[in-house]
Structure 1
Amino acid sequence: MASLDQQIKDSQKQIVLTQEKIADMTSRLDRVAAKAGVEQPTIDIANATLQDVHAHTEAMNANIAELIMGLDDVTAGFSRDFEQMRSKTGWEKFVGVFASHKSESMRQERLRTASIDDKLQDLIGKSDVITRLLEGQLTMLNEQKDKVEQNLTDTLADRETVVDTLENLRARIQALDPKLIELENKVAATTDASDRTRIETELAVASKQHNALVQDEQVALAKSQTLERYIEAGKTWVDSLQNQAATQMVLINKLQTDTRQRVVLYDALTKSLKTAQQQDVAHRINEIGVKTDQEAQAAMAAIGTATNSRMMDMLEAHGDHMVFARKVLEEKAKADERFARRFSEIVEKHDKNLYGG
C-alpha cells in the first residue's frame, strides 16, 4: 500500500476531480432547466454523466476509507512501540549486568530520540488534514444540493402552470369537437349551394381554430414532458447528493472520533513510560549498598510521603479520566460500526489483505 502522505495527495486530487464533475453535473441540469421549453434532458445527463460522477465519488471514498484504516494501523503500531519502550532492550539489559547507570542512560537516550510525540502529533495532523478535506467536500455537496433543490422548486411551479394550460386547451378542444361534428353533418345534409358555402366557410374557421388549439396542446404537452423528465433527473441528483453527504459525515465522524481516541491513547502511554522510568529509579535506590541504607530509608520515606500524596491525587482524578476514556471508546465503537457497515467491502480487503486480487 502507498504511504499515508501519498494517499492523502491522491485523495486531494480525487476530491478536486469529483467536485468538478459534481459541479458540471449540476451545471448541465441548470442549462436544461433554462431551456426546458426548447429541449429535453439528454440521455448523457440522465445516465452517463450521473454514473461517471458516482464512479469518481466511489473511488474517492474508497481511497479515503483505506487511508482511515491506514491511520488506524499506524496508531496500533505506535501503541506496540510504546509498550516495547517500557522495557529495556536486550543490549541495555546486557550492559546493565556490568553498569546499571550506563544501561539506564542508554534507555533514557533511546526514549529521548524516539520522537514519540512528533510521530503521534504527525498522525493527528494527518487526521485533521483529511477531516478538513471531507468537510470541504461536504460543504460543496450541500451547496450543490441547495442549488438543485431551488431549481426543482422553480421547475415544479413551471410544470404546474404548463399542466394547467394543457388542461385548459384540452377542455377548449373537447368543447369545440361537437361544433365541428355538427357543421360537418350540416355540410353533408345541405343541398342549397349558398347555404353549403356559408356552412363550409364556418366549418373552415372552426377547423382552423381547432387545429391551432391542437398545435398549442402538442407544444404544451412536449414542454410538460420536458419539465417532467428534468424534475425526475433533478430528484435523482438531489438523492445522490444526499447519499454522498451521508457518506462524508460517516467518514468525518470516524476520523474525529479516532483523533480523540488517539489523544487519550497518547496520554495513557506517555504516563506509562514515565511510570516505568520512576520504577527504575526506585529499583536503583533499593540497590544502594548497606552503607547508605539509612539515607535510602530517609529518601524512601520522603518519596513515600510524596508518592502517597500524588497517588491520592491520581486516584481521585482516575474516576474522571476513566469516564472520559470509556465515553471516547464507546463513541469510537459506534463510529467504527457505522464505518464498517458503509464500507464493508473495503474493510474486508484491508482485514484479509486482498489487495491486487
Structure 2
Amino acid sequence: MATLQNFDAEIAKTNQVVQDMRTKIEQSGAVLDTLARTDKKIGDANFDLENARIEDVLKQQKVMEGNIADLIIGLEDATNVFGAEFESMKNYTGWESFVGIFSDQSKQRMRTDRVRNMSLAGNLQELLAKSDTIVGILKAQKQILDQRYKTSEASLSQVIERRKATMSGLETVQKRIEELNPMLLDIENKIAASTSQKERTELEGERSKLATEYNEKQAKEQELLAESQTLERYTSMFQTFVDSLNNQIAAQSTLINKLTIDTEQRIVLYKALEDSLKTAAQQDVAHKINTLGSQVDNTAEETMAGIGAASQKHIGDLLEMHEKNMVATADIQRRKKLADDAFARRFDDVLKKHNSANYVQS
C-alpha cells in the first residue's frame, strides 16, 4: 500500500499556522471593534504594532493557503500512486501466467478469485481520512473568517463614519476660527480707537472672551486634526485587514470546492474500478484504464462516473450515496473542470512549485 511521506506532519504544521492566524485575526479584530466606539480615545502608540501584526497575518495567510493547496495536490498524487495497486489487480501474476500455459480457464479463475478477495477499502479509508482532516481545517477556518469578516466589516464602517464625524467637527471648528480672526482684529481696532475708559474696559472684556474661545478652538482643531489623521491611518490599515479576510474566505471556498469534488470523483472511480475488475463481464473496460484521477480513459469512465457523498462521510456512506445518486460523466467532469480552473488561477505558483518536487512517494 502506498504511503504519503510526511503528509500527516504537514497537516499538523498547517493546522498550527491556522491556529496562530486565528489568534492574531481575533486580536486585530478586537482593536478594530474598539476603534469603532466613538467614546474611545485613540492614538498612534500601538499603530506600528497593529500594522506589523496584520502584515504577519497576510504572510501567514499565503503560507497556510499554499500548504493546504499543496496537500490537496498531494492527494491527487496519492491517487496516481495507488494506481499501481489497481494495475496489479488487472494483470496476471507470474504463477497465474504459468498456470495459463496449461489451462487458460484456470488462469482466469485464479485471477478472478484473487481480485474478488482483494479489498480497496484500506486505500479509500486512508485517502478519506486525510481529506476529512483537511476539509475539517478548512471549514472551521472559513466559519471563523465568515464571522470575523461580518463583525470587522461593520466595525470598519463605523470607524469610517467616526472619521467623517471627526472631519465634520474639524470643519466646524476651522470655520469658527476663521470667523474669530476678523472679530478679534476688529475689536483690537476698536480698543485702539476708543478714548473712553469705560468703553475700552468693555471692549477688552469682549476681546478676552474671544481670545479664550480662539485659543480653545485652536487646541480643538489640533486635537481633531490628530484624531482624523490617526483614524485615516487606521482606516487604511483595517481596510487591508478586511480585504484580507474576504480574500481568505474566497481561497477557503476554492480549496473546499476542489477537495470535495476531487474526493467525490476519486471515490466513485475507485469503487467503479473495483466493481469492474471484480465482474468478469467488465474486464474489457478494466483493461482500458491506464491511470486514475484526471487521466481516466473516457471509455472506461462512462461506466464509472457518478457522484459520491461529501468527503467527510465514511466509506460506507459514500458507496451507498454512489449507488443512489449516479449522475452523468459530463456533469462531474464539468464541475471538476470548473474547480480545477479556479484552483489553478488562485494557486498557480503552488502548482508550479509542487510539480517540480517529489511530494508523494510510494
Q: TM-score range by the shorter chain?
A: 0.7 to 0.9
5 Å-filtered alignment, 1:153-192, equals 153-190=157-194
Contact 2:28 2:54 survives alignment (8 Å): yes
Instruction: Write the distance in 2 (CA, Å) between the matches of 1:224 and 1:352.
Output: 50
1:301 alignment counterpart = none
- Asked whether 1:51 is paired with 2:55, we answer yes
**C-alpha separation in 2, matches of 1:165 and 1:117:** 70
How big is the shift at 1:106?
5.5
1:19 — aligned with what? 22
CA distance in 2, matches of 1:349, 1:42: 36
Does the aligned pair in 2 maintain the 1:162–1:223 contact within 8 Å? yes
Confirm or deny that 1:248 pairs with 2:252: yes
Aligned residues: 318
Counterpart for residue 4 of structure 1: 7
Matched residue, 1:73:
77
Bigger Rg, which one:
1
The 1:272–1:77 alpha-carbon spacing in structure 2 relative to 1, beyond 3 Å, is farther
Q: What is the match of residue 342 of structure 2?
A: 338
Distance in 1 of aligned mates of 2:304 and 2:357: 40
In 2, are the aligned partners of 1:127 and 1:255 still within 8 Å (CA)?
A: yes
**Pair 87,127 (structure 1): closer, same or farther in 2 beyond 3 Å:** same
TM-score, normalised on structure 2?
0.77
CA separation in 2, counterparts of 1:327 and 1:319?
Answer: 13
Within 2, Cα distance between the matches of 1:318 and 1:101?
Answer: 26
2:237 is the alignment partner of 1:259: no
Change (3 A) 1:11 1:111: farther
Pick closer, same or farther for the CA change 1:135–1:319 going to 2, 3 Å.
closer
User: In the aligned structure 2, how far is the partner of 1:319 from the partner of 1:17?
Assistant: 42
Matches within 5 A, 1:291-306: none
Gaps of 5+ in 2: 285-301, 307-325
Superposition RMSD on alpha carbons, in Å?
3.0
- 2: CA distance, partners of 1:348 / 1:216: 57
Aligned equivalents of 1:88 and 1:320: distance in 2?
26
Bigger mean CA deviation after superposition, 110-119 or 339-348: 110-119
Higher helix share: 1
Is 1:264–1:325's contact at 8 Å kept on the other side of the alignment? no
Q: What are the Cα deviations for residues 127-170 of structure 1, in whole angstroms up to 9, with x where unaligned?
A: 13211210111111111111111212322333333333222222
> How far apart, CA to CA, are the structure 1 residues paired with 2:186 and 2:27?
56
- The alpha-carbon deviation at position 21 of structure 1 amounts to 2.0
The residue aligned with 1:213 is 217
Contact 1:86–1:272 at 8 Å: present in 2 too? no
Which letter does structure 1 place at the counterpart of 2:205?
Answer: T
**What whole-Å deviation, never above 9, does each CA across 1:55-106 have from its counterpart, x for those lacking one?**
2121111111111111001112233422331121223212443576875675
Q: Do the aligned residues in 1 keep the contact of 2:138 with 2:256 (CA within 8 Å)?
A: yes
* Aligned AA (2:127): L
Between the aligned residues of both structures, percent identity stands at: 39
Is residue 32 of structure 2 the alignment partner of residue 29 of structure 1? Answer: yes
CA contact (8 A) 1:86 1:276 kept: no
Alignment-derived partner of residue 94 in structure 1:
98
In 1: Cα distance, 2:341 partner to 2:214 partner: 66
Aligned 8 A contact 1:131 1:255 in 2 = yes
TM-score between the two structures when normalised by the length of structure 1: 0.78
